[in-house]
Amino acid sequence: MAEIIQRDGTWTFDGDALRLTPGRDKNVSLLRRTLGELAVPLGALAGISVEQGKKTGRLRLRLRDGADPLLQATGGKLVEPNDPYLLTVESDRYGVAEYFVDEVRRALLLDEVPSDPVDGYLLPGPSVPLSASAGDGTASFDGEQVRLEWNWKTEDAKAAAGARSLALTDITAVEWHPAVGLENGWLRFTVRGAETKAPPKYDPNSVELWGFKKDPLMALVAAAVQARLPHPTAPPAVPDVPPKEPAAVPGQVAEADHDALLRRLRELGELHASGVLTDEEFTLAKQAVLRRM
């Protein structure tokens, strides 16, 4: 087993998975502390590296595309303090960091883990239920339903409709984007049948973010929902359509009916000959078949 312990956190590798535990240092971000310990299976890794600086360096994990719903929902927009796959390393621990990297790389080679994208999530995403308040609202998710509630800073046009409840089955996409400079960020849910290009400030299915400390927590809500949506590489769902009956061909139908009526006539004749049908019954039945012909 390989392990490196730093103020920023502790990374442990047992040959099958890495456990990333955030540290208790005041510089550890709110997102990482809220997310808690992560278990990353070896098969989810695309690589690992150590980057050395004069005073501190960092260990960096690179995951296979599509393996983690958090990275999928945030689109690689998590800044370094919030990135759970970075670990700040003190310069006097560079030797331990290099040993840790060597152990993980050796396991990747021995297990012949590919670095190409995956077609299903290999990490479960944040646990639910969870709730985050930031920007102009609060987003909560219980595993089946997203609830959006507004605060006094919400635009009147959006707040007028009241709180929103979005069933997971109606959500087709989720996206988190941080505030950058003077541009506000957002947490946006795309709802089937209610797609819109309205700014998050006016979109009732979006929470607008202004770049405050709790904004990154909205990324955890996005990741929890993303983990329960179909994987981006999954083929689109095809509705069940009953097989079509073969098209009727008039000539074939008429021919089939004619043959059936001829068989019926033969059966009536046999029944009459054997005495099952009287002369009168046979005549009436035969006339009915002939009329249909």
pLDDT for 64-88, tens place per residue? 999 999 999 999 899 889 999 999 9
- pLDDT score of 246 more than 80: no
Average pLDDT, the chain: 88
What is the mean predicted confidence (pLDDT) over 256-271? 71
- Stretch 231-240: mean pLDDT: 71
* pLDDT reported for residue 256: 56
| Tally of CB atoms within 10 A around 175 | 17
Beta-bridged to residue 188, according to DSSP, are: 175, 206
pLDDT exceeds 60 at position 250: no
Q: What is the pLDDT of residue 242?
A: 58
Does pLDDT of 248 surpass 80? no
Ordered DSSP codes for 112-150 = T---S--SS-SS--S-SSEEEEETTEEEEE-SSEEEEEE
CA distance 156 to 158: 5
Neighbours of 223 (CB within 10 A): 25
pLDDT score for 185: 95
Give the type of residue at 105.
R
Note whether 121 and 64 are within 8 A (CB): no
Residue 248: how many other CB atoms lie within 10 Å: 8
Measured between alpha carbons, how far is 134 from 136 in angstroms, rounded to an integer? 6
Q: How confident is the model at residue 247 (pLDDT cuts 50, 70, 90)?
A: low
| Residue environment code for 139-153, b if the CB has 16+ CB neighbours within 10 A, otherwise e | bbbeeeebebbbeee
According to the model, what pLDDT value does residue 176 have? 96
pLDDT tens digits, 188-210: 999 999 888 889 999 999 999 99
Give the per-residue pLDDT at 46: 96
Task: Please write the tens of the pLDDT for every residue from 19-57.
Answer: 999 998 888 999 999 999 999 999 999 999 999 998 999
| CB 5 within 8 Å of CB 92 | no
Q: What is the pLDDT of residue 253?
A: 45
Interval 143-185: pLDDT, tens? 999 999 999 999 998 898 899 999 999 999 999 999 998 899 9
pTM exceeds cut of 0.85: no
Q: How buried is residue 197: exposed, middle or buried, by Cβ count under 10 Å (0-12/13-18/19+)?
A: exposed
